[in-house]
């Protein structure tokens, strides 16, 4: 597993990161299976783990995993979580934003307790608008750095205007954005962020597997959850995903390996984050770190990109 720098910080992270989110943090997914996935990820060389305050029981589960590892091993990992969201107390549970400094402070304290750690390597603001990144919020985040509670501050956003604003004003150490084979339009922005010293984490690196029929194959409860999420958040990309079905038929590669290798081959990306609840898929995905993307496959992927026609300097 190769390590990469996170922007201009002194943090290095594994080129693949594991997302402790979605089904991994849900009650209907057995906790021991979630912890086994974490342990396997560590054994496979992954050092970067990303979670969030509002991801079900994900922070608590990750905290138990870190407890089992012990203090010394925890120091070898990079743990990221998010703040700025909270969960309603109503019968119909919903997640909403709260950017008050009072809540941000409280949620960070809760996250530290859940994770059984006295510091966070990385802390994101979770999906803010430009006008929500106020002076008060920025001061709060920078104060956490000054107090050594947080090593690096960033933003998780898929909003191009927000990302461009962060890039132009150099407000944060890193961003997590949506970048994958179906979001090649992100590449110029990613390069700009990198040139401005801002680390780039590729979230949604597997493009929700929309290049595969797998999202439509329902075998158990978690499959229903994945399909509903895709329909809710990525309906517009579901038809486009058909253009990339060919990556599932490449000899000696899985579709996910092709998708991850494409993202990792971007020299301006610090880490490609994926999530899975399948141990075999986890191991297969890590194998992508030692693979070389065939030139003809890369050319076909880029030809299918809706927005990007410019060649990218790659490793």
Phi/psi for 199 (5° steps) reads -65, 145
What pLDDT, on a 0 to 100 scale, did the predictor assign at position 104? 98
Single out the residue of 138, 151, 108 nearest to residue 8, CA to CA: 151
The neighbour count for residue 1, using CB atoms within 10 Å, is 13
Distance CA(159)–CA(69), nearest Å, equals 36
What is the reported pLDDT for 263? 99
Buried b (16+ CB within 10 A) or exposed e, 213-250: ebbeeeeeebeeebbeebeeebeebeeebebbeebbeb
Per-position b or e across 291-302, b if 16+ CB within 10 A of its CB: eebeeebbeebb
Residue 104 burial (C-beta neighbours within 10 Å; 0-12, 13-18, 19+)? buried
Q: What is the pLDDT along the chain (315 residues), one digit of tens a residue?
A: 999 999 999 999 999 999 999 899 999 999 999 999 999 999 999 999 999 999 999 999 999 999 999 989 999 999 999 999 999 887 676 889 999 999 999 999 999 999 999 999 999 999 999 999 999 999 999 999 999 999 999 999 999 999 999 999 999 999 999 999 999 999 999 999 999 999 999 999 999 888 887 766 676 776 676 666 665 666 667 678 889 999 999 999 999 999 999 999 999 999 999 999 999 999 999 999 999 999 999 999 999 985 443 444 443
Closest by Cα among 224, 228, 174 to 203: 174
Tokens standing for residue 104: 């941000």
CA distance readout (Å), 65 to 6, 16, 36, 114, 284: 24, 19, 9, 11, 22
Please report how many Cα atoms fall inside a 13 Å half-sphere around the Cα of residue 125, on the Cβ side.
33
The CA distance from 216 to 131, in Å, is 38
Give the other-Cβ count within 10 Å of 36's Cβ: 14
Q: Give the pLDDT score at 235.
A: 63
Q: What is the C-alpha R_g of the chain?
A: 19
Question: What is the residue whose two structure tokens read 């909270």?
Answer: 86
Domains of the chain from N-terminus onward: 3-304 (3.20.20.100)
pLDDT of residue 271: 99
Q: Are 198 and 173 in contact (CB under 8 A)?
A: yes
pLDDT value, residue 261: 99
Look at the block and give the residue holding tokens 């081959």.
265
Pairing mode of beta strands 3-5, 12-14: antiparallel
């Amino acid at each position: 597993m190769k390590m990469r720098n996170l922007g201009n910080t002194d943090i290095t992270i594994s080129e693949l990161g594991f997302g402790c989110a979605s089904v991994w943090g849900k009650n209907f997914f057995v906790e021991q299976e979630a912890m086994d996935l974490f342990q396997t990820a560590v054994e496979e060389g992954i050092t970067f783990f990303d979670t969030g305050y509002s991801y079900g029981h994900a922070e608590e589960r990750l905290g138990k995993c870190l407890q089992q590892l012990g203090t010394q091993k925890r120091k070898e990992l990079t743990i990221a979580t998010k703040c700025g969201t909270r969960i309603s107390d109503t019968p119909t549970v919903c997640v909403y934003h709260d950017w008050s400094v009072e809540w941000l402070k409280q949620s960070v304290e809760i996250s530290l307790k859940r994770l059984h750690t006295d510091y966070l390597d990385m802390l994101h603001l979770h999906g803010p608008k430009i006008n929500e990144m106020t002076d008060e919020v920025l001061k709060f985040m920078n104060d956490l750095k000054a107090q050594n509670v947080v090593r690096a501050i960033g933003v998780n956003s898929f909003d191009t205007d927000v990302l461009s604003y962060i890039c132009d004003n150099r407000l944060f150490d890193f961003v997590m954005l949506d970048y994958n084979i179906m979001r090649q339009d992100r590449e110029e922005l990613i390069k700009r962020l990198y040139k401005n010293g801002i680390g780039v984490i590729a979230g949604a690196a597997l493009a929700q597997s929309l290049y595969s029929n797998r999202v439509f194959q329902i075998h158990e409860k978690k499959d229903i959850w994945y399909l509903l999420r895709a329909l809710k958040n990525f309906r517009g990309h579901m038809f486009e995903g058909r253009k990339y079905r060919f990556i599932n038929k490449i000899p000696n590669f899985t579709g996910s390996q092709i998708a991850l290798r494409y993202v990792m081959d971007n020299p301006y990306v610090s880490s490609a984050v994926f999530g899975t609840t399948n141990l075999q898929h986890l191991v297969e995905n890590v194998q992508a770190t030692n693979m070389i993307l065939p030139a003809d496959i890369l050319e076909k992927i880029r030809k299918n990109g809706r927005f990007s026609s410019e060649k990218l300097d790659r490793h």
